[in-house]
Chains A and B, each alone.
Chain A
Amino acid sequence: MNCRDAEPYLLDPPAHLDAAVRAHLTTCAACRTAQATLIESQVLLRTHLPVPPPSVMRTAFYTTLVELQRTRKAVVGPGRWIVLWRSHSLRLAFAFLVVFALGAVSMQILQADQASGSEVQAVLSQLGAPSPATRLTGVYTVSEGEMTEAQVHEALLTVIRTDPSVNVRVAALEVLTAHAQDAAVRAAVVHVLGSDPAPLVQLAALRFIEAHPSAEVHRALDTLLQQPDLEPFVRAQVRTFLTTPI
């Protein structure tokens, strides 16, 4: 093998050329220098090219995802019902349902107006809505209302402990990051880290506590690593975190 043949393979020769490239390198100082230069360039690029993504991307993505899930349900539904709509009896049943639903909704609106009228209850009702998109909106607006700090914490901690949607729980953890100075909030997030089975929630909890390392956090992470079915990506993130000294 001469320099020209070896040149394209100086970095990672394929298996069948490996021995030939190695043999050439032992006899050619110029190619050894070229190889060292290429390796140095690789290190430079790997160290300096990665650019941290802004956190706003995460919020935008999860909002899009929830919106898409909602739209999808809306699109899938009518497609099936249009076929059934041709049935006369179904139209009658539908008319009856509309009248019934309008009555029920009017009653609910009247009751809600009488019972609350306050912004706090409006946000709380958003957090308890059946639609994940509504609950997500509630999570992102909870800190903007008239609620006290304690009420905000309570509402969001309830969401991260009980909400059935992973995306809503992740969003609540992100909003709680602004309240990380509160020891009770930190303790609750550490608890979630060990108890929530969803890898996404575990990652969000890990991001939350990254800025607040403590012996307690390290203990919780050690326990988390004991879980045999822990998602490998989460395991790698936890290990990276644990190698960082407190």
Chain B
Amino acid sequence: MDPFSDEALMARIRQGDLEHAGLLFERHHGALYSFFVHTTRQPAVSQDLAQDVFVRLLTYRTSYQLGARVRPWLHQIARNVLADHWKRPGNAAIPLDEAPPLPSSQSPAVELERSELRARLDGALARLNPDNRELLVLSHVSDLSYDEIAETYGITVNAARVRVCRALKAFRTLYTQHEASDELPRR
């Protein structure tokens, strides 16, 4: 086994060698942060939730089954963290028109040029049902394979493939509707 694979690092963390958690953090905190940003639309809250995933990873490290893939396990934790977040009183999804603009990975100049496109994408994504949104973020931001999505959700690989495809289709429909409604007044 590659000594620096996620699984090898997690095995060492499980034995109590917590220092190796840093490398897992470096590899995965960006994807987890994006996951929470797109599911909650609250960047500040997302920081805490992503942090909570790593705290749980360290706290419950002994529940990690040796040899199991780490990415699905981490995303299972992330989904639990998110579920716990919604259960707490006062934590509700922010309506789209009240949500602050999400941070971007693009430079300010590129961002200005693409802001309209970005707003359309965000709008379509926010209108998507939460399950489909979560699936699209897992498959297109966290870059989880169908195998890993199947493991995260406890479904078959084929079911994961079909669900992602349907979620993408639903997204496309909303994105196109949004595009059409944008263009309507100009005609």
Contact = CB atoms under 8 A, between A and B. Distances in A.
11 contacts: A7-B165, A7-B169, A9-B165, A44-B117, A51-B33, A51-B37, A52-B30, A53-B33, A54-B43, A54-B103, A72-B18
B121 A200 contact: no
A232 to B, nearest CB: 7
Contacts of A231: 4, 23
B34 A51 contact: yes
A199 B30 contact: no
Given A41-B172, A49-B140, A233 B29 contact: no
Nearest to B140: A45
A12 interface: yes
Given A45-B136, A65-B21, A65-B22, A50 B51 contact: no
Interface in A1-59: 7-12, 14, 37-38, 41-42, 44-46, 48-54, 56-58
Nearest to A132: B19
Contacts of B172: 37-38, 41
A50 B162 contact: no
Give the bracket for the number of chain A residues in contact with chain B.
Answer: 35 or more
Contacts, number: 132
A60 B54 CA distance: 11
B146 A12 contact: yes
A167 interface: yes
B62 to A, nearest CB: 12
Contacts of A48: 104, 114, 117-118, 121
A203 interface: yes
B161 A9 contact: yes
A68 B18 contact: yes
